[in-house]
Amino acid sequence: MTLTVNGREVELAEGSTLLDAVRAAGAQVPTLCHHPRLPSHAVCRMCLVEVKGRTRPQAACVTPARTGDVVDTDSDALRAFREANAQWLLARHPNDCMRCEVSGSCALQNLIHEHQWQERWEKVPIGSPQHPEHRLHDHTSPGIWMDFSKCIECGLCVEACGEHGQQQFVIGFAERGAERQPVTVFDQDLADTSCISCGQCTLVCPVGALIEAPHWHEVLNRLDARRDVAVVQVAPATRIAISEEFGMPAGTISTGRMINALRALGFDYVFDTNFAADLTIMEEASELLGRLQNPSELPLFTSCCPGWVNWVEINRPDLLPHLSSTKSPQQMHGALSKRAAFARSLGPEFAEGRREPYVVSVMPCTAKKDEALRPGQRGDVDRVLTTRELARMIRARGIAFNALPEEGVFDNPLGASTGAAQIFGSSGGVMEAMLRTALHMAGNDQAGALEWTRLRGVDRAIKTAEIPGLGRVAICNGIASAQQLLQTDDWRQEFIAIEVMACVGGCLGGGGEPKSMDPLVLEKRMKAVYAIDQKAPRRRSFENPQVQALYASELGEPNSDEARRLLHTSYAP
Ligand code: HC1
Ligand code: SF4
């Protein structure tokens, strides 16, 4: 198709919208309710454009482009429309940007600022016409905070949680007209709903209505006080996506910059969650081989994704015996930081249990915040921050992230890892990492390639592969695909192991990652994950010398009594 936007000719593929045309022409229209991974509903009416021959302005995000269209994105009438829309939004919005967690990265704030519509705010009465019966504020969930007084009714959270996203249907709209607003099911506390804390709603919210429960202020205060031995561990997906927070292209690897920034923030030890991912593999691969001897315990479901574990507990407690008892890398790392050789090395007070290090983890995930509070695991990690929160801390302390050297190494002994650990951050990666070690443990090193490419990728919901000598495995790429797989009982016979990650793409698409409007952001982050693996000198978890040393000095064998005490957990319905 060929059409013209602002006098410039553009060529587009069939099926494109006028918004695609506008962007292809290098022009801009504001959008508040459009997200590249979700359907558009033209709610905010900010992307209105004029099309020659059509009497009324068209919402570009939903209007199909037609060959020969002549489109204008800017006119007195369009500006007046947009300004009136902005005024309507501001009439409902609290005027407290200065205290808002997302100030500086809010789509509404940016829009008002770019168009210099501030004076509109002064002309509208303060206060919101929301329906009094519906609650606006909810801090009951350990992972997600709601403040619907800031909602602009874009509907993206409803989509992300609903049909076209996670299919959990926790958030929906109530009331009509001016009183329309999002609510939880039956207006329950979020903690009482079937919310799995995946945070996908926070990832698409353009304003501060849905955010991760913010813990970075407390962490900064603790670091500034300098009274603790402060330990931080960082997830595999964070070292890549953090780059986007500082304007670098998606897929840029910033491991060294991130380590240097964490040291500059005041952490005494900067460790790698990947170390514990290798350890998770040792334990989980052994668990799989054990279950293969007893087929009634198959298939094994991975359990490192807390959104998935939440889902099982809420919706299908009958599956709990199938969940791997191996703790997630985050929780393993926390346990080792507080209650093993590293803690003892900090001095007698630590060895005798009178003091413990202050342990923080940085995760691409909001559900990790509730994982840290799970019965039996509470206290292993003191605070969980998202990738977005780490970026806020770095900005708050004036650290020039982009200028930091990319050379930087994690501290040891809890910082060494293999390529297998790095791919945990990607959908299919936990399974691939487990297979590399399980095949070795089964004495079957030659059975397959190191790389199980059939298990990789963002676009397929369910990925499967036949593993020579072991059996069939499946990957559920997002919680909706797990629900799909579990609709029948075929999985019980078909698979020996199933990986479930609640977010599409795996952790790299987690609800605590930077917000992105790049439709290919997950693919770019994923490419970077596998690039790190490919370059790693060791790519199988059992080859990690620090993991070997830990077994030799402290744990004995995988699944030993000591390993089970520190590294395993149980689930109660
Ligand atoms: Fe993940 Fe994991 S890979 S769950 O995706 O098993 O969050 O990145 O840290 O714990 O290692 C997340 C990522 C992360 C754990 C590991
Ligand atoms: Fe839905 Fe996930 Fe948001 Fe909970 S955290 S409301 S499950 S999208």
Total length of the chain: 573
Atom of ligand 1 nearest to the CA of 361: 9
- At 130 the pLDDT is 60
Counting as low any pLDDT under 70, the low residues of the chain are: 120-132, 447-448
Q: How far is the CA of 198 from the centre of ligand 2 (A)?
A: 5
Cα Dmax for the chain: 81
Residue 492 CA, chain-centre distance (Å), reads 29
Q: Are 235 and 381 in contact (CB under 8 A)?
A: no
Fold of 217-567: Rossmann fold (3.40.50)
Residue bearing tokens 């206290």: 379
Nearest CA to ligand 2 atom 7: 195
CATH class of 2-74: alpha beta
Rounded Cα gap, residues 154 and 141, in angstroms: 22
Q: Tell me which residue of 117, 26, 36 sits closest to 73, measured CA to CA.
A: 26
Q: Are 237 and 525 in contact (CB under 8 A)?
A: yes
Residue boundaries of the structural domains of the chain = 2-74, 217-567
Answer whether 532 contacts ligand 2 (Cβ < 6 A). Answer: no
CA 223 to each of CA 44, 219, 338, 512: distance values in angstroms, whole numbers, following the listed order: 42, 6, 18, 22
Burial bucket for residue 448 (CB in 10 Å: 0-12, 13-18, 19+): middle
Ligand nearest to the CA of 302: 1
Rounded Cα gap, residues 511 and 346, in angstroms: 34
CA 233 to each of CA 47, 137, 275, 443: distance values in angstroms, whole numbers, following the listed order: 42, 31, 9, 33
Answer whether 199 contacts ligand 2 (Cβ < 6 A). Answer: yes
Answer whether 307 contacts ligand 1 (Cβ < 6 A). Answer: no
Answer whether 478 contacts ligand 2 (Cβ < 6 A). Answer: no
- At 92 the pLDDT is 80
Answer whether 143 contacts ligand 1 (Cβ < 6 A). Answer: no
Nearest CA to ligand 1 atom 12: 507
Q: Tell me which residue of 207, 255, 125 sits closest to 529, measured CA to CA.
A: 255
Atom of ligand 1 nearest to the CA of 506: 5
Nearest CA to ligand 2 atom 2: 198
Answer whether 235 contacts ligand 1 (Cβ < 6 A). Answer: yes
Q: How far is the CA of 488 from the centre of ligand 2 (A)?
A: 25
DSSP E strand boundaries for 365-492: 383-386, 462-467, 471-477
Ligand nearest to the CA of 210: 2
- At 89 the pLDDT is 87
Rounded Cα gap, residues 510 and 523, in angstroms: 13
DSSP 301-332: EP---HHHHHHHHHH-GGGGGGB--BPPHHHH
Interface confidence, given as ipTM, is 0.93
Nearest CA to ligand 1 atom 9: 235
Q: 465 has which bridge partners? A: 473
Atom of ligand 2 nearest to the CA of 143: 5
Q: How far is the CA of 303 from the centre of ligand 1 (A)?
A: 11
Rounded Cα gap, residues 167 and 482, in angstroms: 11
What's the whole-model pTM score? 0.96
Q: How far is the CA of 487 from the centre of ligand 1 (A)?
A: 27
Q: Is the dihedral of CA 86, 89, 95, 98 positive or negative?
A: negative
Which tokens in the block code for residue 465?
């592969």
Q: How far is the CA of 201 from the centre of ligand 2 (A)?
A: 6
Number of CB atoms found within 10 A of residue 335's CB: 22
Q: Are 496 and 298 in contact (CB under 8 A)?
A: yes
Q: Are 168 and 194 in contact (CB under 8 A)?
A: yes
Answer whether 171 contacts ligand 2 (Cβ < 6 A). Answer: yes
Q: How far is the CA of 12 from the centre of ligand 1 (A)?
A: 39
**Alpha helices, H only, 95-155:** 107-115, 118-122
Q: How far is the CA of 368 from the centre of ligand 1 (A)?
A: 9
Atom of ligand 1 nearest to the CA of 305: 4
Contacts of residue 222, Cβ cutoff 8 Å, sequence gap at least 6: 228, 230, 358
Burial bucket for residue 527 (CB in 10 Å: 0-12, 13-18, 19+): middle
Contacts of residue 461, Cβ cutoff 8 Å, sequence gap at least 6: 476, 477, 478, 480, 481, 484
Residue 251 one-letter amino acid: G
| Alpha-carbon Rg for the chain in angstroms | 25
Which tokens in the block code for residue 366?
């909001």
- Of 198, 212, 370, 504, the one to substitute when testing ligand 2's pocket (max ligand atoms within 8 A of C-beta) is 198
Atom of ligand 2 nearest to the CA of 502: 2
